[in-house]
């Protein structure tokens, strides 16, 4: 079978009972993404970095596609969780990169006063595949050299 788009277990997570994402209804745009392990997200303090919640997943797709990561709509109100980057962007060439095999994560801040516990298998967000367009004069020639945050390196 030709691989067109889909999710796989990232290296290092093969024996950790990671569930591949699914859509819960036939008209859902997003695939529900679960946490790969228990994670504590501390209450926000000025100057702190976001907490990266591991998914144990990597994703493959077509050349003109991107995977967009979105927060669950209930997370801000119920858990105080907001995504540090508002929307995560996973490019096609992130797949199987040499730094982390393409393992994508969610970057959260916790705006509640108490620390928040995320349990393994808990749904933390959703992922949507989308086509994108390029300009007539596009001439991108660069190649990804690493994992998380490596696009500008």
Determine the Cα–Cα distance for residues 75 and 79; give it in Å rounded to an integer: 5
Domains of the chain and any CATH numbers? 6-131 (2.70.40.10)
Q: What is the pLDDT of residue 95?
A: 96
Q: What is the pLDDT of residue 146?
A: 59
pLDDT digits (tens, 9 = 90+) for 107-153: 999 999 999 999 999 999 999 999 999 999 999 887 757 555 555 55
Q: What is the pLDDT of residue 143?
A: 72
Mean local confidence (pLDDT), 35-57: 98
Q: What is the pLDDT of residue 149?
A: 57
Residues 6 or more apart whose CB falls under 8 angstroms from that of 104 comprise: 55, 57, 58, 59, 67, 69, 88, 90, 94
Q: What is the pLDDT of residue 93?
A: 95
pTM of the entire predicted model: 0.91
Report the DSSP beta bridge partners of residue 118. 39
pLDDT digits (tens, 9 = 90+) for 49-101: 999 999 999 999 999 999 999 999 999 999 999 999 999 999 999 999 999 99
Mean local confidence (pLDDT), 17-34: 97
pLDDT band, residue 17 (cuts 50/70/90)? very high
The helix/strand count (H/E) of the chain reads as 0, 10
């Amino acid at each position: 079978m030709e691989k067109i788009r889909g999710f796989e277990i990232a290296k290092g997570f093969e024996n950790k009972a990671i569930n591949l994402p699914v859509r819960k209804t036939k008209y859902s745009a997003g695939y529900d993404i679960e946490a790969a392990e228990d994670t504590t997200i501390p209450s926000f303090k000025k100057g702190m970095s976001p907490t990266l919640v591991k998914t144990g997943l990597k994703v493959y797709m077509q050349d003109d596609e991107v995977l967009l990561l979105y927060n669950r709509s209930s997370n801000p109100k119920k858990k105080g969780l907001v995504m540090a980057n508002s929307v995560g962007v996973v490019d096609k060439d992130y797949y199987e990169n040499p730094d982390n095999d393409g393992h994508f994560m969610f970057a959260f801040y916790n705006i509640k006063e108490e620390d928040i516990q995320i349990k393994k298998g808990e749904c933390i967000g959703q992922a949507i595949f989308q086509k994108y367009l390029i300009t007539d004069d596009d001439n991108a020639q660069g190649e990804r050299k690493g994992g998380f945050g490596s696009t500008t390196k």
